[in-house]
Every structure is written in C-alpha cells, then in structure tokens.
Structure 1
C-alpha cells in the first residue's frame, strides 16, 4: 500500500518527466524542449510563493488567466488532476475542466476544503520543484 507521500512523488515525477527527456533527433527539438522545461520549472518554482502570499484561489485564478501563455495551463492542469483524479484526491467532484474546478472552489468548497487543498498543493509542489529542476 502506497502512502500519500509516495503517491504525491509519483504524480510529480510523471508531471515533470515529460520535460526531462531531451533525447530527440534534432538540435532544434532539443532547444524547444529545453525552453519548455525551463518555463515549466520557473512557474513550478513560483507557485508555492504565490499561494503563501495570495492564497490558493488567487493563485489558481492567476494561472487560469494566463493559461493561454506558456506553461501556466499545464501547471493548472497538474493541480486539478492531483486534487480530483488521484487516488488521494480531496475533492469529491470530478471536474474535467479548469472552469469546473474554479466554479467548485469558489462556490461550493468550505473553508476546511480550501485549507486542505492548499496544504495538499503545497506538498505536491515540494516534489514538483525537485523533479522539474532535475536534469
């Protein structure tokens, strides 16, 4: 039986590993993947500070507003999937879109739900930061 820490680490590894494989055929592909990895890593590095400074909802709203640019949408997707689709998901609903997650958290979630989600996202990002920075 896996602990929640092991599940968190496995999920973070899966999220970050798509950017860690730079084994491609051309130099152009390597540069493109390196740029994507650096961008993803930079966002992942900043999210915990955003959460601690502004709160989870404000951070999610920021990522949502910027999801069309860069890897913000990917990071938001990682958070949504961990909170809803994982075996340890905290939210009983199963939102398939970022809009559904935002609607649920802003209208239906209790203060206790938000505190638990905040704690869980911060714990997830401890792992994500480690794996996103790895070479």
Structure 2
C-alpha cells in the first residue's frame, strides 16, 4: 500500500511523540515547544528559529532541531545530505549527534537552498508540526492539569 504524504507525516509524528513520552522530564517541554513552533517559524523564519533553538541548547529544543532535519533530509529527502541519510532512526534523540551534525543541518535546510526550496521546506515543516501538535495534545499529559 502506498501512503500519502499526509499519512507519512502522521506516522512519523506519531513515532516521535511515542518515543518522547517515554522521557517524562522532556515530554511536557517538548509538547509546549511543538505547539509554538508554527508561530515561531512564521514570525521569525525557519533559519532564525533553528538558530534560536540551537543556541538555547536544551534537550527538547535540540530534539526539535533534529526532527526537522531528519524529516526533511533523511525521511522526505527534499534535499541531499549523505551524513544525515546514513544515520540510524534514533539519532534525533542523541543530543551529541544533533550537535555534531548542526553545520550540515544549517547548510542543507537554510544556507545552500534556493528560495523555492526554502519555501517548500518551511511549508513541509509547518505541515509536520500540525501532526506533532495533535499527537502531543493526545498522548502527553499536561503538567498544568
């Protein structure tokens, strides 16, 4: 059975949230950040948002940077990255691997893409965050409740 892109996004988001919820200390912060990501990207731009998250450097922020790169460069293959294409499925949960690959992430998502591809990448990530937010809302307990 061939899956639609929307189904692939949903499956990827489900798997990410399923993995994140295992770490209760990170899950709530992750869910909160995922809910804000579309507005961050639309207000500040994709490049500024990624740079901001990396500069903050907390676990949940780096995981979001990693999952954006993973979805675009390894799963969806909107751009080519030999380094990231060869990584295992769980690399985005390894903070050191995200830091090691940050130059590649910035290069392939932001710096060396034309305006058309940059727009496609941005829109694709916005669509992915819709699914991530849906699953976070349903699968991760809110600390405030």
List aligned pairs for 1:1-135, cutoff 5 A.
1-21=2-22, 33-67=23-57, 69-86=58-75, 88-96=76-84, 97-135=101-139
TM norm structure 2? 0.77
SS at 1:75's partner residue? helix
SS at 1:134's partner residue? helix
CA contact (8 A) 1:20 1:134 kept: no
Residue 94 of structure 1 and its aligned partner are, at CA, apart by 3.6
Query: CA-atom RMSD, angstroms?
Result: 1.5
Structure of higher CA gyration radius: 1
Distance 2:36 2:20 in 1: 17
Aligned residue pair count: 122
Q: Residues 106, 117 of structure 1: CA spacing in aligned structure 2 closer, same or farther, 3 A cutoff?
A: closer
Q: Residues 62, 127 of structure 1: CA spacing in aligned structure 2 closer, same or farther, 3 A cutoff?
A: same
TM norm structure 1? 0.83
**Structure 2: runs of 5 or more not aligned:** 85-100, 140-145
